Amino acid sequence: MSLSDHVCEINNQTGEVSFDNKVIVLRPKTFELLYLLASNPDAIHSKSEILASVWQGTVVEDQVVFQSINEIRKVMEVSEVIKTYPRRGYKWETSVSIVDKNSSQLTSQKELKTQNRSKSIYISLFALLAFVVLFTTYLFVVKDNNFSTQKSSLPVTEKERPSHKGILVLPFNVTTLNESQQWLRYGAMEGLIKRVSPNKNITVFHLEDVIEILNRIPIGERDDINKIFAKSGATYILETSLSGQPGELNIVHNIYSRTSRVTKTIQATNLEHALSSLVSLFEQTIGENLAFDVEDSDQQLQSDLIAKAMQFLEVDDLVSALSFVESAVVNEPDNIIASYLLVKINLELGEINEARVAVNKALAINKTKSLGQYEHRLLFFKGNILAASGEIVNAQKTLLNAEKLAKENKDWLYYAYNQTMLAKIKVAQRKYDDAYQLLHSALEYQELLNCPMGIAQGHLDFADFYLQKGDTPSAQRSFKEAQTLVRKRNLKQVFDLLTEMEQRLAKASSM
């Protein structure tokens, strides 16, 4: 098959790409790069032009262009579709049809035959795991360790809710520090997070959860504390700036609530002293005694490889982040944070086989050192991989174990994730009463924190549940709850799920 015989169709309205009548999945930035090249196939696009267009307003390294080009070549399985001109740039080389975002007209170099597209096994698995990506931006909390999941005729929003505090630590501002100290942006952030102990009344966002929340906010608006409150549902946000030099650190610490800000300035001789002082300040401000463990002061994130990976995660460049995480794992095989990130990023990229290998290796670390707070998260990932592979019995056992450990670690985020996934398994087993209890509990957690996206997803999960039962009227009601909230809060991340559910409901109603 010659290069001219290949055909590519790009829908810039939906982000869908078809190559030789096969649907392919690309990350948003990679899609933008593909669209840039294909929309002007006669031009040679330089690396600087691509960076300025696709990664405008972000700080990334030149290699992200090369990695995205390779990603396109890999999924299309024809490397010649993009030609490299050394020291000049890249050029699109085959036929392409484009539905432009500003036009409903199809402009084409070559007429494409219309046919039904069958989804591959890879896409099916990726779709099954897609809820993990969406769900990882939500925070769940439970009332207490004896939380009741009994049915109620009252909507969750009408119930009395106990007070619960969510604490979000932002990456440290280290712009005035020299290059050798830039790792403190995430290293010091992680150190502070580790010193604030969660309990049944307090949830502390993990570092990776904070990064995902920030990724939901446009880059130019991430300094807006109100937007961070709105996206996270946090009660307190901690913002810290570091300046000075080793032996004489100057620290400006802002503690935000939804109605006030407290600013403190302190001096410290070293990072350990600084973090201990910050925790003390925070305890005084909110009137809580927060136990913290100083034994783990040597944080794994205090390495250049992990810090660099986190920088790419912050701009949602998973491919670049993955390369640094893989290097970190090779450099330090028992680094649990690097191993955890390796599993998580592979899952988000839809690389199921790689994720399976990585999660088994990560869990094996437990034989030589404690996994601590990451064991239940890794087990949750493994449970999802097993479920996607059709190993339902093993998936259920793994998720139940993960749920138990999450509760022991007071990680309510992943405790709720497990409930949702277990509910999906119960639905597949037609154990609807058990599934209802789990879904109802998960929705209550979201209501406790009043997280709009979490609540909308919870109602959509119920709509899916009722459709599986054959109860279309109840599914319609749950869908309306989600639709109202999505429109009211303009939750763009849920639009596609909402449209998909609407289509399913229309089909069910017509039968």
- Rounded to a whole number of angstroms, the CA Rg of the chain reads 24
Question: What's residue 103's pLDDT?
Answer: 43
- Mean pLDDT calculated for residue range 336-358: 90
- Angle between helix axes 375-388 and 412-428 (nearest 10 degrees) is 20
pLDDT, residue 63, reads 66
Res 423: pLDDT: 94
Q: What is the pTM of this model?
A: 0.54
CA–chain centroid gap for 66, Å, is: 24
Count the residues in the chain: 511
Q: Are 421 and 112 in contact, with CB atoms under 8 Å apart?
A: no
Task: State the sign of the Cα–Cα–Cα–Cα dihedral 344, 346, 352, 356.
Answer: negative
**Nearest residue to 65 via CA among 30, 16, 31:** 30
Report CA 439 to chain centroid distance, whole Å.
21
Asked if residue 34 has pLDDT above 80, the reply is: yes
Please give the pLDDT value at position 107: 41
pLDDT in tens, 206-220: 887 888 788 878 878
Confidence label for 359 from pLDDT (cuts 50, 70 and 90): very high
100-130 pLDDT per residue, tens: 644 444 444 433 333 333 333 333 334 444 4
Lowest mean pLDDT among 267-276, 282-291, 428-437: 282-291
| CA 85, 88, 90, 92 torsion-angle sign | negative
Beta carbons within 8 Å of 36's beta carbon, 6+ residues apart? 45, 50, 53, 54
* Cα–Cα dist 38/175, whole Å: 38
**Which tens digit of pLDDT belongs to each residue from 415-447?**
888 898 999 999 989 999 999 999 988 888 777
Helices 304-314 + 318-331 axis angle, to 10: 160
Strand 95-99 to 7-11 pairing: parallel
Q: Does residue 311 register a pLDDT over 90?
A: no
* Whether residue 511 has pLDDT greater than 50: yes
Question: Rounded to an integer, what distance in angstroms lies between the CA atom of residue 382 and that of residue 375?
Answer: 10
Q: Cα–Cα distance between 317 and 489 in angstroms, integer?
A: 26
Q: Per-residue pLDDT for 476 more than 90?
A: yes
CATH match for 162-286 among 1.20.1560.10, 3.40.50.2000, 1.20.1340.10, 3.40.50.10610: 3.40.50.10610
Q: Determine the Cα–Cα distance for residues 460 and 145; give it in Å rounded to an integer.
A: 26
241: nearest Cα among 260, 259, 254, 226: 254
Look at residue 369 in the predicted model and tell me its pLDDT: 63
Kindly tell me if the per-residue pLDDT of 491 is higher than 80.
Answer: yes
Q: Over 80: is that where the pLDDT of 147 sits?
A: no
pLDDT at 504 > cutoff 80: yes
Query: What is the reported pLDDT for 383?
Result: 95
Residues 189-200, mean pLDDT to the nearest whole number: 77
If you average pLDDT over every residue of the chain, what do you get? 78
Distance between CA atoms of residues 413 and 213, nearest Å = 13
Q: How far is CA 42 from CA 50, 71, 229, 321, in A?
A: 15, 21, 46, 32
- Each domain of the chain, given as residue ranges in start order, spans 3-115, 162-286
pLDDT given for residue 8 in this prediction: 87
Residue 298, pLDDT > 70, answer no
**Token pair for residue 356?**
């399976």
Q: What integer pLDDT is reported at residue 449 of this predicted model?
A: 61
Q: What pLDDT is recorded for position 134?
A: 41
Q: Name the more confident of 59 and 483.
A: 483
Predicted pLDDT at 201: 74
The pair of three-digit structure tokens given for residue 59, joined into one six-digit string:
């700080």
Distance between CA 198 and CA 194 in Å, rounded? 9
How many percent of the chain have pLDDT more than 90? 25
Band (pLDDT 50/70/90 cuts) for residue 272 is: confident
450: closest CA among 237, 260, 238, 230?
Answer: 230
Pick the residue with more confidence: 42 or 295?
42
Among 147-151, 316-320, 363-367, 376-380, which stretch is predicted with the lowest mean pLDDT? 147-151
Amino acid (one-letter) located at 382: K
Q: CB neighbours of 122 closer than 8 A, spacing ≥ 6?
A: 350, 352
Query: Three-state DSSP class for 296?
Result: coil
pLDDT for 131 equals: 42
pLDDT: which is higher, 466 or 177: 466
Which pLDDT value is given to residue 373? 77
Instruction: Determine the pLDDT at residue 344.
Output: 92
Contact 268/281 with Cβ under 8 angstroms?
no
The band of 41, judged by pLDDT with boundaries at 50, 70 and 90, is confident
Picking from 28-32, 110-114, 195-199, 347-351, which range would have the lowest pLDDT averaged per residue? 110-114
Please tell me the distance from the alpha carbon of residue 385 to that of residue 357, in angstroms, as a whole number. 10
How much is the average pLDDT of 94-100? 80
**Dist CA 178 CA 180 (whole Å):** 6
Residue 250 has pLDDT above 70, yes or no: yes
- Residue 449 CA from chain centroid, whole number: 18
Looking up tokens 């690389």 gives: 351
CA distance linking residue 272 with residue 270, whole number of Å: 6
pLDDT at 290 (0 to 100): 67
What is the tens place of the pLDDT at every residue in 368-389? Answer: 666 677 899 999 999 999 998 8
pLDDT at 438: 93
Look up the CATH architecture of domain 3-115: Orthogonal Bundle (1.10)
> Average pLDDT in the 382-411 region?
92
Of the listed ranges 59-73, 376-390, 393-407, 436-450, the least confidently predicted one is: 59-73
Could you tell me which residue, 402 or 142, shows the higher pLDDT? 402
